[in-house]
Chains A and B, each alone.
Chain A
Amino acid sequence: MSAASTPSLWRGAGRLIGKRIGLALVTLLLVSAVIFTISGLLPGDAAQEVLGQGATPEQVAALRHEMGLDRPAPVRYAEWLGSIVAGDPGQSLVANKPVADIISERLPNTLTLAALAALVSVPFAFLIGIASAVSRGRKLDRGINVLTLSMVALPEFLVATIAVLIFAVELLWLPSITIVPKDPTFAQFARAYAMPVMVLAVGVVAQLGRMIRAAIIAELDRPYVEMARLKGVGPQRLVFRHVLPNAIGPIVNAMALSLSNLFGGAIIVETIFNYPGLASLMVNAVTSRDMPLLQACAMIFCATYLLLVLIADTVAILANPRLRQV
């Protein structure tokens, strides 16, 4: 690293990263416009829905005015966006509490769940990816291939069902719903989280493992690997010292992708284990058509996804001396 860290190189990297940040912000803005259009403009008249079919046109008009629905769409969008950015997306229609309060209560739970799942999945994914890449085409690789192909296609609720049957019903080791007591001891914490984390990890390990294998194999075909082999570098050193550092770019990208899929999996897992997170909150918002809450949840998930991609891009730029020079 030392030779490459001359000031001009870092300035190039900074410019490149700045550009990525700008692009992510523009994308987030466009995403917000899509979400507002779908959930705020298209579904028809919220005032009519609140009042029901029996309302007179005057009543509807009055409520529309009160709710601000009679103003032009761009004005409503700008106001909505302003309130989201300010961290106050309004009042939840169903819970009758500020959306911000509900979310700040639930968001840490989902982040804990996701972080634990990531922490468990990533080492396994590396193990699987590296093992199958170095045994490419052999029995171990083919076996892992069939196994991970099947794992990515399993619906989360099947994995959850089987896990509950084994660990909660047969063995009586773990509770079938996740209740985390206040100030849990480590044992309580581990018991509560073991199953949801395990279920989330199944898909992530398989998907990430496959992508890590692909990234390593792409490098294994390059001439410098042949060179190192001819020089007599052993297989372990070859993978860890020569190949992995060069595959960091695609690997962090794969990690960003599978972590964002993890949030999608959380929607099912939180619902099954009755876990009070943001994803199950969003499902409730859909069921009760609580639009302010739904929009805020959707924006948080989209922003998280873009942030993960941005971090991955940044790591890839910093890890690649050639990209740094641009």
Chain B
Amino acid sequence: MTGGNLIRAVRALPWSGKIGLALVAFWIVIALTGRFIAPHSPGAFVSYEVFAGSSGKFWFGSDFLGRDVLSRLLVGAQFTVGLSAIAVTIAVTLGTGLALTAAVGPRWLDELLSRAMDTLISIPSKIFALVLVAAFGSSIVLLTLIVSITYVPGNFRIARSLAVGLTKLDYVEVARARGEGRFHIALVEMLPNMIRPLFADIGLRFVFIVLLLSGLSFLGLGLQPPDADLGSLVRENVSGLGEGALAILMPATAIASLTVGVNLLIDAATQGKVK
């Protein structure tokens, strides 16, 4: 896509899509820079007052230990956005990879994979994640793997139906007649034509993963101290709820603005294609 096309595409978005795009762009910038633009060290005790309100020195006040909420939020957002982005990449790579394997592979393999994914999809995602956390614990690496595995079956289902539809199209038949291998057909002929329709699914799954990851952290089962994502920030400041502390409101609002932004953007970008 050239620059001119991109600008035209943005202009064509409805106002909700523009808001979504702005929110998403904002969070991408924060995810890349959070740690470096934080005014204080996220672990430093900088205020004598706990749950302080907004002030010139501490824009979002102080948390339950007198740390700077803004700095902790900036670093926490890096964890939330970064880990979710990694997790959604793993989930979609696995899900779509298996879907392509099922579509071009032998029939029994398709049956086996589809059956297995149907089983996994009938375990509610939060329950599945809880069982996995109980079994394996929640170090950062495991946590990322757990939330991505939870959303593999959903992506598999969508990608497989796209891929199976493609196997019947002429250009895939032609490639097969040309004697191309299954690997080539899946990756060179089919995958490029699945990417556009898959984008909406990737965005949706990113939202699910952000919510699951921060939900787990909120329950104390996600990121462990001293690391804290946005969900952990809500959890640790929950005692400030009674006084309406910014320390609990800001991180919760931050998560919402991220997920709502992605949702609005996907919806606007797919309008017209999906009814």
Q: A43-B136, A283-B219, A287-B221 are in contact. Are A149 and B264 (CB under 8 A)?
A: yes
State the interface size on chain B (CB cutoff 8 A): 47
How far in angstroms is the closest Cβ of chain B from A311? 14
**What separation, in Å, do the CA atoms of A218 and B220 have in the docked complex?**
43
Partner of B211, one of A155, A218, A283: A155
User: Does B43 touch A at the CB level, under 8 Å?
Assistant: no
Determine the distance from Cα of A295 to Cα of B239 in the docked complex, in whole angstroms: 31
The interface stretch among B1-9, B95-103, B255-263 is B255-263
Contact indicator B134/A153 (Cβ below 8 Å): no
A39 — which chain B residues lie within 8 A by C-beta?
131, 134-135
- Which residues on the A side are within 8 Å of B255 (C-beta)? 155, 158
Judge if A8 is at the interface, Cβ distance under 8 Å: no
Complex-state Cα separation, A85 to B248, whole angstroms: 43
Closest to B253 in A: A158
CB-contact partner of A38 in B115, B132, B219, B248, under 8 A: B132
Which B residue sits closest to A217, measured CB to CB? Answer: B275
A30: contacting residue among B119, B130, B131, B241, CB under 8 A: B119
Which residue in A34, A285, A301 is a CB contact (below 8 Å) of B124? A301
Contact B264 A146 (CB under 8 A): yes
Chain A residues contacting B215 (CB-CB under 8 Å) are 155-157, 267-268
Q: State how many angstroms separate the Cβ of B257 from the closest Cβ of chain A.
A: 9
Min distance, Cβ B114 to any Cβ of chain A, angstroms: 13
| Cα–Cα distance between A302 and B123 once the two chains are bound (Å) | 6
Q: Return chain A residues, CB-CB under 8 Å to B264.
A: 146, 149-150
B231 contacts across to A, CB distance below 8 A? 155, 157
B residues within 8 A CB of A267?
126, 130, 215, 219
Q: A38-B132, A217-B275, A282-B130 are in contact. Are A155 and B122 (CB under 8 A)?
A: no
Q: Is the CB of A149 within 8 A of B120?
A: no
| B242 within 8 A of partner (CB) | yes
Q: How far is the CA of A264 from the CA of B208 in the complex (A)?
A: 12
Cβ of A291 under 8 Å from chain B: yes
**Interface secondary structure of A, over-half rule:** helix
Which among A38, A214, A305 is the interface contact of B135 at CB below 8 angstroms?
Answer: A38
CB distance from A72 to the nearest CB of B (A): 20
Taken together as a complex, chains A and B put the C-alpha atoms of A155 and B125 apart, in Å, by 15
Bound together, the chains give a CA A31 to CA B126 distance in angstroms of: 15
Interchain CB contact (< 8 A) of A271 among B16, B219, B256: B219
| Contact residues in A for B197 (Cβ distance below 8 Å) | none
Q: Are A286 and B130 in contact (CB under 8 A)?
A: yes
Q: Does A294 contact B (CB under 8 A)?
A: yes
| B227 CB-CB contact with A under 8 Å | no
Inter-chain CA distance A264–B130, complex, in Å, is 11
Asked if residues B122 and A305 are in contact (CB atoms below 8 Å), the reply is yes
The residues of A that contact B131 with a CB separation of less than 8 Å are 35, 38-39, 294-295, 298
A38 to chain B, nearest CB (A): 5
CB-based nearest A residue for B220:
A287
B123 lies within 8 A of A153 (CB): no
Which residue of chain B lies nearest to A34 when distances are taken between CB atoms in the complex? Answer: B119
Closest to A291 in B: B134
Q: How far is the CB of B123 from chain A (nearest CB, A)?
A: 5
The one of A152, A264, A271, A286 that contacts B134, using a Cβ cutoff of 8 Å: A286
Q: Which residues of B contact A35 (CB under 8 A)?
A: 123, 131
* CB-nearest residue of chain A to B119: A30
Task: Determine if B218 is an interface residue (Cβ-Cβ < 8 Å).
Answer: yes
Known: A149-B263, A153-B259, A161-B234. A306 touches B122 (CB 8 A): yes
- Interface residues in B232-258 by Cβ distance below 8 A to A read 234, 238, 241-244, 248-249, 252-253, 255-256
What string of 1s and 0s marks CB contacts (under 8 Å) between A164-193 and chain B? Answer: 110011100000100000000000000000
The answer to the question of B173 belonging to the interface, with a C-beta cut-off of 8 Å to chain A, is: no
Asked if B133 lies at the interface with its beta carbon under 8 angstroms from chain A, I say yes
The chain B residue sitting closest to A145, CB to CB, is B267
**Inter-chain contacts of A142 with B (CB < 8 A):** 14, 16
Q: Is the CB of B124 within 8 A of A260?
A: yes
Asked if B155 CB lies within 8 Å of chain A CBs, one says no
Nearest CB in chain B: distance from A140 CB, A = 14
Residue of B nearest to A168 (CB): B242
Contact present for B263 and A152 (CB under 8 Å): yes
- List 18 additional contacts besides A39-B135, A164-B241, A268-B218; criterion CB under 8 Å: A27-B119, A35-B123, A35-B131, A39-B131, A155-B211, A155-B214, A155-B215, A158-B256, A168-B242, A169-B242, A169-B243, A169-B244, A260-B124, A272-B238, A287-B220, A298-B130, A302-B123, A309-B122
- Cross-chain pairs A/B with CB under 8 angstroms, 7 sampled: A149-B16, A161-B248, A217-B275, A264-B124, A286-B130, A294-B130, A295-B131
Residues of B within 8 A of A (CB): 14, 16, 115, 118-120, 122-127, 130-136, 207, 211, 214-215, 218-221, 231, 234, 238, 241-244, 248-249, 252-253, 255-256, 259-260, 262-264, 267, 275
